[in-house]
Structure 1
Amino acid sequence: MIKDGRWDGVYTMEDSPYLMEVLTELRDKETDSIPFRKGLVKFGRFMGYEIIKTMEIEKITVETPLEETEGVVVRDRKNVVIITVLRAAVPMMEGLVKVFEHARIGIVSAVRGKAPEFRVEMNYIKVPHISDEDTVIIADPMIATGSTLLEVIAEIKKYGSPKRIIVAGVLGSPEGISRIKEKHPDVEIFVGKVDRELNDDGYILPGLGDAGDRAFGLPVKLSTLPQLRSIE
């Protein structure tokens, strides 16, 4: 895990050959849906382990069958809320839950419109209670323009004041990260890598394309879905 000196609280995983190999497979246009989804699961799980490194550790005493010894407990690991931004983040959430098995799960369905406005439509929101002891992890593979995450973070903050808010992604753009940090300087960001830039359509370059389309096949038109919105 490497701290990106351009921002406070932004970390990349470029020091991990394993994760960079996973990222290489995700970037490859020949990678089809099944290995792409598996790659996102691997990313989520690895990111969970890296996030744990930043949590407080409490030393305890434990009895082995032979004698007493010192151990550790990561208590914050049991106070985690994972917010899944549909649909590309579902496999990442699966990986995160393998590490944070006690996590409560929230769902946000958000769609970013086309350039240049990049308006965000939030169709469904279901978020559990958030306490001041919780670490909220927002899973979204691509931090591109930042438009979707700005809306999601603002919505999450209506549910409480968590101990930490973390965005976990595969790739970020300098533009998107800067927008998020400007509006929400308290939010931490963990990504595999910060890529070069955005193109005019709001896609990360060199990027890996549309993560949702690549993970699940062709996109479903919103007009074919029931319009649902649930805020609790």
Structure 2
Amino acid sequence: MKKLTIAFLIITLFMPKQSNAQSNGAAGAIAVGAGLLAIGAGIAAMEDMKERAELTATQWVLANHPELNSFSLKTLDFNGKKTKDMSSTSVISFKIQEFSPTDNPTLDGKKQILLAFTSYGWISDQGIDFNKVNWYLIDSTEWLNMMVAYAKVASKEKNETVLKDVLNNGLVVNKGIKAKGKTEIPFFKLEGDMYLVTDYSSEMKLVYNEKTLGIFLKDTGNLVQMARAAVIDTHEFFFLTK
């Protein structure tokens, strides 16, 4: 849908007005054609990047997790970074699910998410440099623990049992944890330059800022704010889909 919207806007931008002379109309038609070619090239380049990213993610899994012998790997969010986040990193998430080998297998095994945090300069006119990527493979238990830790620092609720119960049946959105059509656990209202931080693990800190989940990577010193859609997609994959 986003691709079609962008294409429509560009076509509208270059479309000649009815009041223009025929010569202007011809020039406009050429501009439209050039615009369509640019759109097609851009979409093709994006799809090529996604395919290369999936291939690299698969290679990382094969090299680092030999216990995974039958699995599906697909891109969940190609750019899960918050749009106005100006840090030097981005994050790509891949959904992984195991299955039993058979004809027309069903994806019914263990689910995991592979997070790929990219560093400055990971993409250029020379292509993608996946040496500038930090990989984190997490399962539903780890994700739930992360969301509990995040919710504890972002809200007044400190009871982990209560938080886990709500999270198992709800979603983390900008204003809090939403379940059954309403906000069950509201998050604090903060100014844009205020941060609440929890030291989650030896690898990362979780940050609440501007109603957004931030992940600070200790190894690289980079902070990335995950887009709301990326957080929701991950949570739904683990807890709200079969």
**Please, what TM-score do these two structures have when normalized by structure 2?**
0.22
Provide TM-score, normalisation by structure 1.
0.22
More helix by share: 2
User: Which of 1 and 2 has greater Rg?
Assistant: 2
